A and B are shown apart, each in its own frame.
Chain A
Amino acid sequence: MDIYIAIIVTSVGAATPILIAALGRLVVEKSGVLNLGVEGMMLVGAIAGFAGQFYTGNPYFALLCGAFAGAGASLIFGFLTLSLSANQTATGLALTIFGTGLSALAGAPFSARPIQLMRPLFPAELATHPVWRVLFGYSFPVYFSFFMVAAIWWFLHRTRSGLILRAVGENDLSAHSIGYSVKGVRYAAVLFGGAMAGIAGACFPLLLTPQWAERMTAGRGWIAVALVVFASWKPFRLLAGAYLFGLVMTMELYAKAGGGPLSVIPSELWAALPYLATIIVLVLISIRRDATSNAPACLGKPFLPSN
């Protein structure tokens, strides 16, 4: 019983940053922008969050630091691709390389200096019983991620602004011709996506390992990228997908710790499993015909009104 509870709790921890980053990305893609810099923005957010917690000890301030750092990094991307119409794929990759380097440079003085993990949101009395622990044992970002799933669904499908955002992503020229600011909407979406990626990055030192390590997000940003395709741009499917990946990653941890039947398979295979699972998932959804038809029509195309 206890082991199952532990697996669930660990999976939730592993899934949360992926879910938050993927939600931000979903909104960005819905506006028609393809930002492959998620991994870089997450790393910048991770070091900002780490530093925030290190200096103030206030994890909420640390998350805010992560959000601002991620948004700042996304601004570089926004300026290049939206104002200068640079290639989105190349710029996103450059942003990932940039964020990896910047976080390594900024993080060097913090190595081997642990911080405090974020405490659970609810008082410990609520989480004494194992079953209650599954519900009330987590810290703020976990509940934030649940809230954002619903909030983003509501925003995209029940508000006027969400409709405008989707219109910009589906047909930028039409949206432009009826007077909506395509660049304005896309800038806002890119900044939101950057802030979400930054928060997701800050979750790594605040929730998972309270120490700074270079490249500590270990490709999770790319899994978030794949997850959005997997979820066919639907927030609630994103939730399911993120928890599936969280479970796979937890298996790796248990295999490494030598957890009985799991250790028959070498731990490196478990570590490779989330990436292989991503490929399998991408293959499965592309076999289903309708999957990619849900993609925003203007995804990745630069907006060049010919006046």
Chain B
Amino acid sequence: MWNIGAEGQYIIGGLAGTRVALATYGMTGPWILPLMIPAGVVGGMLYAAIPALLKTRLNVNEILTSLMLTYASVQLIYYLIRAPRKDPMGMGFPQTRLFSEAARLPTIIPGTIVHLGVPIAIVVALVARFIMSRSVFGYQMRAVGAAPHAARYGGFSENRTIWLAMLVSGALAGLAGVLEVAGPFQRMVPGFPTNYGFTAIIVAFLGRLNPLGVIFAGIVMAITFVGGEVAQTTIGLPNAATGIFRAMVLFFLLAGDIPVRYWLKRVVTQPAAGAA
């Protein structure tokens, strides 16, 4: 199962959070953020439900549908910030107003941009790790992924697993979107889609599809983003160029899989045979 549309679910999550933030504009109270975050999660989930529905009902390729929905969601941002949700004080810039204080994620280390999203992400990874390795649901998901025929024979429903995986994945992407919009951005801007959804695919592979590995892989990828920005400001390298680096990480990772699994094993058995 390939959810290539995480970027789109991230965008819809961000837009749903924005909607709540703008509807409650000027209000104060600790209830606003707890309302925005579920809105983002549900937004991402609903957007992921479209490819899941089309895949399970009509067997439509989920790679293509989730990707096309990503491109459509980018246009939705452009439309919303150009016309109905435009900042009235924005001097013509296509962006929404700055969220009120209560709709912004607080930073946890004063003076930095480290916001509440960081501990939330770590908790999510730990929970995901527990679910994937210790629960029936996690076992079912791994079984359907690794051996669909055996899983079907064992009575696991493939469709149910696809639904669960897509909804959870969409919910997490939506969570990422709402955390980004309420954290670093604090308003919806045209630059909100930052290809995090695509980078997330590399992160998942670099983390060897393990929720805890993903934390470290996420940090490595984050360094490439920061490094890319430094390279842009100091030597004028275009930011997109860091994509080359990220793609090469993935290339080497994929290329390394076969030698690691097959070729090295042969080397290990040979000395043993020689010693005997």
Bound-state CA distance A290–B201 (Å) is 32
Check if B257 sits within 8 Å of A97, measured CB to CB.
Answer: no
Bound-state CA distance A261–B168 (Å) is 42
Bound-state CA distance A269–B60 (Å) is 23
- Interface flags for B55-72 (1: CB within 8 Å of A; 0: not) read 000111101110111011
Q: Is B78 positioned at the interface, with any CB of A under 8 Å from its CB?
A: yes
Among A84, A101, A107, A276, which residue has its beta carbon within 8 angstroms of that of B247? Answer: A101
Bound-state CA distance A237–B248 (Å) is 36
Check if A97 sits within 8 Å of B198, measured CB to CB.
Answer: yes
How many Å from the CB of B221 to the closest CB on chain A? Answer: 12
Q: Is B102 positioned at the interface, with any CB of A under 8 Å from its CB?
A: no
Q: Is A19 positioned at the interface, with any CB of B under 8 Å from its CB?
A: no
- Interface flags for A229-246 (1: CB within 8 Å of B; 0: not) read 100000000000000000
Interface of B is mostly: helix
Q: Is A139 positioned at the interface, with any CB of B under 8 Å from its CB?
A: no
Check if B250 sits within 8 Å of A90, measured CB to CB.
Answer: yes
Bound-state CA distance A36–B240 (Å) is 20
Which residues does chain B contribute within 8 Å of A229, judged by CB atoms? 61, 64
Total interface residues on A, using CB and 8 Å? 44
Which residues does chain A contribute within 8 Å of B246, judged by CB atoms? 97, 101
Given the known inter-chain contacts A80-B251, A222-B67, A272-B75, please indicate yes or no for A105 contacting B241, CB distance below 8 A.
yes
Which residues does chain A contribute within 8 Å of B83, judged by CB atoms? 266
Which residues does chain B contribute within 8 Å of A269, judged by CB atoms? 75, 79
Check if A272 sits within 8 Å of B76, measured CB to CB.
Answer: yes
Which residues does chain A contribute within 8 Å of B63, judged by CB atoms? 36, 89
Check if A266 sits within 8 Å of B79, measured CB to CB.
Answer: yes
Which residues does chain A contribute within 8 Å of B2, judged by CB atoms? 89
Bound-state CA distance A124–B240 (Å) is 41
Among A105, A268, A286, which residue has its beta carbon within 8 angstroms of that of B240? Answer: A105
Among B58, B61, B69, B258, which residue has its beta carbon within 8 angstroms of that of A287? Answer: B58
How many Å from the CB of A210 to the closest CB on chain B? Answer: 20
Bound-state CA distance A286–B53 (Å) is 13
Q: Is A173 positioned at the interface, with any CB of B under 8 Å from its CB?
A: no
Which residues does chain B contribute within 8 Å of A80, judged by CB atoms? 251, 254-255
Known: A275-B71, A286-B58. 11 other contacts (CB 8 A): A87-B254, A91-B254, A94-B202, A104-B239, A105-B238, A105-B244, A222-B64, A222-B67, A268-B82, A271-B78, A275-B72
Counting from the closest, the 3 A-B pairs by CB-CB distance are A101-B243, A104-B240, A98-B247
